[in-house]
A and B are shown apart, each in its own frame.
Chain A
Amino acid sequence: MSLIQCQGLSKLYGSKKALNDVNFSLEAGAPIALVGPNGAGKTTLFSLLCGYMSPSAGTITLLGEAPNSPKLLGKIAALPQDAVLDPNLTIVSQLSFFARLQGMGVEQARQEAIRVLTLVDLADVAEQKPPSLSHGMSKRVSIAQTLIGSPELVLLDEPTAGLDPANAKKVRELVKALSPTTTFMISSHNLDELEKLCDQVLYLDKGQLSQAVSMHASTDSDYLTLTMQTCDSEVLQAEVAKLAGVVNVSSKQSKVFIIQLATDAEKAQNSDIEMRLFTLFNQHQWQYKMLLKGRTLEETLFS
């Protein structure tokens, strides 16, 4: 059974098509990234998956059920963009209330609220009210509420937007740590972040699903991404292109080179390509910064 399945999904706001005939099927497992420019339809897709609104056309199934099905209650959680908790009630009372709605007893619900707040390092603000928190802390509390009852699927809309780098890293580590039991679907503009976390990537553009790629697909082993510290870019491109097994060398950013390697039958020639590159750097006294197998998400999506 697919985790999420969308068929012919469209959503109209008046005459504007926010989503246009989107089709995809996703399995449970590693985190899934949802990428796209502003206004691409990411939040609309999340809202449809959560059942906050109905599609204009098409069908959605989550764990084999339609959104809003009673069978999904407590199995799916979400961090909706811009949604905030009630400013008049303490954080722990609201999170305990959510846990109670998910079937926990009074004491168990309170313990669960403290547990999820501890996961985001905010157990000490449990008795405070939301207005006393900073934007970043509010975001982390909102992330904490998604973890109540360990749901099967968690949808996070821009989870690290507005967080400082240290807390953004903590959220990434949390997602990574919980990934074996919970599938996360994350929308973000931070491609580096998604690259570190996710395997499957959905790219939405103008309401259409333009790409669905796997970060670990076999085709990515046919690329190397090289970032240099010091080098003569033109000479490096020419010299690397001459190496056996290299099909093409391109550079769209200063000192970042994408090396395309020969595929399948000629793969044997690529086995020591890294060694030959290091030898070349040594000969020319070039300093490298990073050598990455495959391409960055940015390169994969926009090349």
Chain B
Amino acid sequence: MTNNPPSSFNNMLIIAMFELRKFLFNTRGIIALVAFGLVWGVLLLYPIQSASAMLLQPNVKDVIDSLFGANTLNVLFEWPVAEMAVFWCFALYLFPLFSILIAADQFSSDKTRGTLRFLTLRTSRDSLLFGRFLGQILIQGLLILLTIIATVALALSRDSQLFLPALTSGALVGLNLIIVILPYTAVMTLLSLYARTARQAMVFATILWTVISIAIMVLGSQSNVLAQLQWILPGAQLSDMLNTNGLNSLVYAPIPLIQTAAALLLGRMYMQRSSL
């Protein structure tokens, strides 16, 4: 049978779509999706809805300013859709956590049971690495999209005039969240190449974030120059991003994008050299 193997790029897309399909049509994936839906359902119906109602109260801004300082969370009150502002606060910290959980098994199980050996004779290691990374971004992108749609629906249930601002705001939040999760997913790509199980990859992630955070804190106390090392750790910009809105949040995009490129480069080097 004469079939020209597709280019690495095409195979990367085939692998990414297969990862998405694997997640959506697999019992484990469906369970994860249901659990995710329940968590976000509860978050949207209770904390987000009630916090949004609070944000609309004129005296709440004064309370927040007095609690956290005048310029700490003031931008939250400038959001055109209150529900999206509260969603932003939750999503900014929750999606990176989901990312670590969801993307922990990109390679570890397949490598341990030898499944990768069936693939590397059919596609390049590059397309496998980038395809699986892209697949994880598609999965998380889908989850982000679903939660944003739910938040828009929540806002519209309060005030149907908010359709356009909610949609614009939701699109920008979605874009920002995808950029935020990129380095987390890329680091998990790297760790899952090294780990033997998804659980081990998550343990490595915990150790990595804890040890590097402590090291940076210690080094930062020694000198201001060393304190800049904080930017190597994915999520370093999150606390600054919290008090931003819309396009202004994109100012921080270069940090996760550079971190992602660095983690993927390391992953590629490891993938090319490692025995399967």
Judging by beta carbons under 8 Å apart, are B26 and A101 in contact? no
Say yes or no: is A145 at the interface (Cβ < 8 Å to chain B): yes
Say yes or no: is A76 at the interface (Cβ < 8 Å to chain B): yes
Kindly specify which of B33-41, B56-64, B117-125 makes contact with the partner chain.
Answer: B117-125
Judging by beta carbons under 8 Å apart, are A84 and B123 in contact? no
Minimal beta-carbon separation of B14 from chain A (angstroms): 5
Judging by beta carbons under 8 Å apart, are A52 and B119 in contact? no
- Nearest to A71 among chain B residues (CB) is B5
- Nearest to B11 among chain A residues (CB) is A101
Given contacts A53-B275, A70-B124, A73-B123, whether A145 and B3 have CB atoms under 8 Å apart is no
What 0/1 pattern do residues 108 to 122 of A give for CB contact below 8 A with B? 000010000000000
Judging by beta carbons under 8 Å apart, are A53 and B276 in contact? yes
Judging by beta carbons under 8 Å apart, are A86 and B124 in contact? no
Q: B-contacting residues of A (Cβ < 8 Å)?
A: 47, 50-54, 68, 70, 72-74, 76-78, 80, 82-89, 97-98, 100-104, 112, 145, 149-150
Neighbouring B residues of A53 by C-beta, 8 Å: 275-276
Give the docked Cα–Cα distance between A89 and B14 (Å).
Answer: 16
Q: Which of B5, B8, B15, B27 contacts A74 (CB 8 A)?
A: B5
- Total residues of chain B contacting the partner, CB 8 A: 30
Say yes or no: is B225 at the interface (Cβ < 8 Å to chain A): no
B105-126: which have CB < 8 Å to A?
110, 113-115, 117-125
- Nearest to B28 among chain A residues (CB) is A88
Judging by beta carbons under 8 Å apart, are A101 and B22 in contact? no
Given contacts A80-B117, A86-B110, A88-B28, whether A100 and B14 have CB atoms under 8 Å apart is yes
Q: DSSP majority for the A interface?
A: loop
Judging by beta carbons under 8 Å apart, are A86 and B120 in contact? no
Neighbouring B residues of A51 by C-beta, 8 Å: 120-121
- Nearest to B272 among chain A residues (CB) is A68
Q: A-contacting residues of B (Cβ < 8 Å)?
A: 1, 3-6, 8, 11, 14-15, 18, 22, 26-28, 110, 113-115, 117-125, 273, 275-276
Judging by beta carbons under 8 Å apart, are B117 and A83 in contact? yes
Minimal beta-carbon separation of A196 from chain B (angstroms): 27
Judging by beta carbons under 8 Å apart, are B3 and A102 in contact? yes
Give the docked Cα–Cα distance between A68 and B3 (Å).
Answer: 18
Interface centre among A50, A76, A86, A101 (most CB of B within 10 A): A101
Interface centre among A80, A88, A103, A145 (most CB of B within 10 A): A103
Neighbouring A residues of B14 by C-beta, 8 Å: 97, 100-101
Q: Which of B8, B115, B122, B273 contacts A86 (CB 8 A)?
A: B115
Neighbouring A residues of B6 by C-beta, 8 Å: 101, 103
Q: Beyond the given A77-B121, A88-B26, please list 11 additional residue pairs across the A-B interface where CB-CB is below 8 A.
A: A72-B121, A73-B5, A73-B122, A74-B3, A74-B122, A82-B114, A83-B115, A86-B113, A97-B18, A100-B18, A145-B118
Judging by beta carbons under 8 Å apart, are B3 and A78 in contact? no
